[in-house]
Structure 1
């Protein structure tokens, strides 16, 4: 692998810049590699791969039929960098590594950086059932990945009902002296206190693994045989427990809305659809022969990509650092099908099949995925039209510039001044932008002083933006009345950002939705829009989202502070004893619920200290 860079000062003359680029192209090799288009400030504009670097890079400057997006990009290119690799497959890997790392503005991007969730059966002596994200450990058994965390959590609840496997953390499991609530509601067999033999618990684990592997029919047959044998031996209570398991498994099977006739099949179904200039990919997952859900993905910078190109970009980006199922069913066929198949096979260290022309039930799955992608585009277009209409109505009602697009909203949340958190949510490009949300932990103020909290949050936010580290909003919404708004005005003047419009959103006299009053900066004039006004609906949506985001952060901060402070305030409970208590009872709530005798079982806790802890936490 070797690098080559076009080193030259930026040219103001487009013709001189073109000649410089053509001279650089002539020196490129006829070898596979990756090229990077850079702007004058060093920003990477585009990353691409090529079988022949000279031919591919040269095509940008020797042809005139480029799309508007590419033509715009070429006017900004000042430098080109290339990296030679050994094969097209290597080029594909490097290209997508760079796209993920650099997020170039002219590459199609699938912004889905979170790892997909798994259901894990741990490799402990007494295995645990758990939700998991992250790198895989060979000591455990993983099932998935799944399209959403909800699917995993629902699966865990179902498996708890049937197999009663433990889900508690190891520190809790190792220090239990009595069964927990899950045992009392018949969701755990309580192996922590030996209410089930290791052999019987292992049998339940094996049965759960059979079910997760899609071998439900085999499992049901085995359970029915076991139930019949226990009945013949007059062990009716044990037979009844097996009967309940069989009935629960049958109910779970009935809930599967799609199933495969092929046991143990793991497959991903990916369909790319382009309608009305919008690209959508539907990713559906089949695990153990069961359809476990799907999700729709809308890439950015995809204006002039066709379905096949978008699908290839998704497959390369999505599976770059993830588990690849044995079968990927897709539509349409990606342009470099053989290269992708080779790449995924090498990554998985086993054979991977990419099937773009399936038959039977697999074709039904694929048609379902295409239909879901098409419906998602229609819903997105409808939502965008609705949001666009709301924004336009708000612009007209408030007298904002016609091109106003970005709105930021702030809210403060605390409990009697404790654990104050400020939130900033962003509306831009016609929708809520969750990736741009920010929370601010407020410190160094008088508890309960909302004005000081708002001042601190706004200052921290807009000092950076005034320094050029962010995008200046067109409208700033402050959840509050004239006092909060005056504080915001003072901050904007101090940081040197007078241009954003400032509006206070004050609750009406009865604090009911629809009676909000909009307070204008400077004049403090008040406007109350009709309840059915689309612009008011947009403000309510953004304001409510700011409130939700603030209170979620506040609750998390408050809970963390209370866990630490409650035990720290008790004389005689130092860091080591605090750690032992939390480990023994599984957290602060467990310590609060423990009796004096239970507390005395912890190493280093005398009767006197146990009584003091009990009184402090119950008081």
Structure 2
């Protein structure tokens, strides 16, 4: 009986240990340089899985050792379990790292990267409000906020779904506007929401780069009653966070590039 209990504990400990720590060892992560650069994750057959960039390679790559089912989406968990080799390329500045990542993403289009793997026309987002309705329109014409990157249409989907959740928390998912759960949301969306001018102002602020007010409201919301709900809303929040982080980094890179001239 005692042997069985010991075995059970060992299995639990093994389950909790991050696969990257097991495969690569703590020394590998301690030896990573704390400098700007681009990193590459490879799978068992040598295939390139993911490309990322950071102003601190040691901190960013090391963070993947702390990925857990409670905090991260399944996509990230699947990525971590497939990584067997990590490489990196140091860059002189964070600006250089951002530029190199953008170039390599278009060249290689790794399967675990979503943003930046193809270059399309930019989007513009128009937001209007009446007393009880918010109207959003995604367009290629220069009108409203923009320009936004080609993948912004997917961000708008998460933004709209999360807005419905934040500003009408008691509403059933079945009452959400038609098409809002499609991978590519309709280009024109009408959202019947209370306090529509307030909602429109929050969405416009996010679209203009002032992400924190809306993200703060979203982070205050409980993730859901079931594991499936929690996973879904965690992924939505993660998508909006990543987009906000990307836009912030691009803004910092532009400022640094201008200052260095």
Give the alignment's TM-score, normalised by structure 1.
Answer: 0.21
Comparing both structures, which one devotes a greater share of its residues to helix?
Answer: 2
Higher relative contact order, chain-length normalized (CA < 8 Å, sep 6+): 2
